[in-house]
Structure 1
Amino acid sequence: MLGFTGVIAVVTLALLAYVVSDAKATQRWRTGVENVAHAHEIMLHMLRVADRPEAIRGDLAQLEATRQAMFAKLGYGSRVRLRVWQHGVELYNSAPRLPALLPVFGSKEARTANSWMCTAEADSASGLLVDRCHEVDDEWMISLSGLNVLMSSTVFSLPLLLLPAWLIVRIGLRPLRTIAALIGQRDEFDLTSLPDSTYRELAPLVDAINRLLARLKQRIEREHVFIADAAHELKTPLAAIQINAHLILSRVTEQAQPGAAAAARGLRDGVNRASHMVHQLLAFERVSIESDSGAMVEVELAGFIRDRLATMVPLALARDIDIEFDAATPCLRRVHVESLGALLENLVGNAVKYSPDGGKVLVRLGGGDGVQRLALAVHDQGPGIAPQYRHRVFERFFRVPGQPQTGSGLGLAIAASAAFRNHARIELGQSAEGSGLVVWVLFAEQP
């Protein structure tokens, strides 16, 4: 099917064809009117000197010379033949070389040559007969002078036609632009229904979009419920397997049964990784569920981060890693508490995991004072991430090749979703504290 541009092109071509056809019809009509008027004018002029044939010839020659000069000035190349008889005797013929019978419009001869339009007027009292024939020159219509004559009225009328049409289209599409703006302002989590349209023509469109949003919302909710239920169902058997793996390790000695001890350690590590994956899946689902305005609360961000970091101190102490927090000034910010906590847990947890034993993780909060943009930075002393992988690490289950540390590949995906939910975005770079990675969480300006 033709698109909007195709329809406009077809309409434009049809309009041009109509203009050309109308121009030809208009030219023939104007030629006929000109013939009648000029023949009548010649007859009135000749009646004054009807008793003097020589005067008739002289006056006609002078009138014809004036007409030719005017046509030449206008660039009009159509030929005109004027013939006058009196009592059957030809007194004047402006084009004696032309045949007596000229091709008229619609005749076979007119297919290969310009057609002619002829008008005759007679006066029985004086015996005068005026025959005027005018050539219809199609080529003249596409010349500059022809277009000026034929299209002047159309050109002058275009503003009167196009301006109302433009206003009608603009006003008519305004409700549609409003709907497009409402949809464009939404984030990916907002699947609430659009407000009802007061315009009868747009009501079916709004209803169809709302039905689509409702079906999409139900499908996403079913997916979230399925993943959450599956993860919860896995937690119990994994916990049981984990306990049994620890029991086996506690009863198997390396000296007596070295193979069994290695197998038990492998079982324990595998269960730990599976449990971590399940916890990460649950965390990802929690931060991916659509947000609502009630979930955003105002907190003092520096204090919130400090409290969350305190819960991660045991993880850092197990590897003798120092976590430092630097906040310039207190900062009030509306956040989604659970998702922001997941963001900190994953970013700082990754920094601790990839930093060497005895290393340092630096967390800085700055800006938000109306001068600088509010930003949270997490510096580690790990191997960092090569630039070619920095855009891919936010994909689910992607892990940088060659990493010795185990993981699920969900940590940065969870952090990115949590950042988006809190009107922020994440950027990666090289840490100024060493060779490690720095993760910036850049918050948008609060409305």
Structure 2
Amino acid sequence: MYETLVPVTHHFYPLQRHTDPQVAPFSDFLRVLDSPKPEATDNLLYLHIPYCEKRCTFCPFHVRVKRDVSVYERYVVALLREIEMLGRLPYVQGMTFRAVYFGGGSPSLLTVPQIKRLYEALRRNFAIEPDAEWTFEGEPAGLCNPELLEFLASQGTKRLSYGIQTFDEPLRMTMNIAATVQDALTANERAKELGFEDINVDMMYYMPGQTLAAVERDLKELGNCGFDSVDYYYMSYYAMPKSTFLGMEKGTYPRRPPAEMRPQMGQLVQRRMKELGYHHVTDHVYAKNPQGSEYYRLLWGGGFGEHRAETLAVGASARGYLNGYSYANTLAPDPYVEQIEEGKLPVNKVSALLADPRNRGMVFFPKFFRTPLDRIPDDARTRVFLDNLVEQGYALIDDGELRLTDKGKEWIPNITVDLFEDPQREIHDSWVEELDSHYSNRVTL
């Protein structure tokens, strides 16, 4: 049924494409924001800081490397203004937030007074549940700062997230990762001393020059650290600069491992993480707590075939989902700031509505591995596809649920796309067609 992994992993659905503010669906979305919220939903508040100390060569995100404090201050002022603008919208006034996520980039690059102003503004302008899950993402060296950790702890922040990627120091240097392994270990130790309950780290496999033995060494080191949760990704090569691929071709940069190594590495990660006492809670997330984080549950619709959870996005390149519309803010920080200074909402892209909103729940169900049978839309196309998954061994039916098998978990991106509504699939296919001409496919790897 599947032989090649699709090259795009989707975190937002429906797909964002429309950019003309004067016509639907963009104009319809803006009218929604000016109207009362029609029903209660579980909600996530996401705030984006697009700056980093260095840019890792594998990074697919819209980040900027800036070391000018005045640049950060101008951006923080813009965030404060956007927060106030959003807080005045009738739709947003009807939202209560179950989780708050500071993402990036590296929010830890900001000063503690700047971060304090953002926390105060969020609480002043939005309704946030008293026991909401607050996550602060950062760069390990920045999260070693006692002043920052003490402030975050005083605000009820219980979850930190930062990247390690690999414990292999030469490979870390090759990938231009700013922090050292010792920074990551120190951040973990200091955070635990202050009572943080969930220290989450990013790890990667299928990295340039990496072998199964190297992944095994990373897993062994990871087991010695005692992190509470791990986002373990396989590396996508489309974000790398052209110079990297030319280096691979010339032999001056480690090459991508053979394609057949990716599933072997993924299976090794799954086995070892289970042996280390982690639950495989979503697509790429392993956690000591079998419930995982509220952040991912809310980001992907509510989890387990649910589709109603919403995300309010704040900041440059931040993406959200409100009342059936998926949307994205202006990507680059400078144009984003200029729009805010002109008093405009910085929305840049908006999706069309799905024909059946429950399709969002089906598209994201593979990320959670299972969905109750009564949440599956009763249409022939979906039923035939899911029956085929079961027949081919990618899923099974057990105890009133449709569940992915270990075989199915290896093909989550493909299953996700095959559940798209037809117009959404057309958008996805156009993106893949563009990627087919990417230089990563035109050099010898």
Q: Same fold per TM (> 0.5)?
A: no
Q: Which protein shows a greater Rg? A: 1
TM-score norm. by structure 1 comes to 0.18
Between 1 and 2, higher relative CO (CA 8 Å, sep ≥ 6) is seen in 2
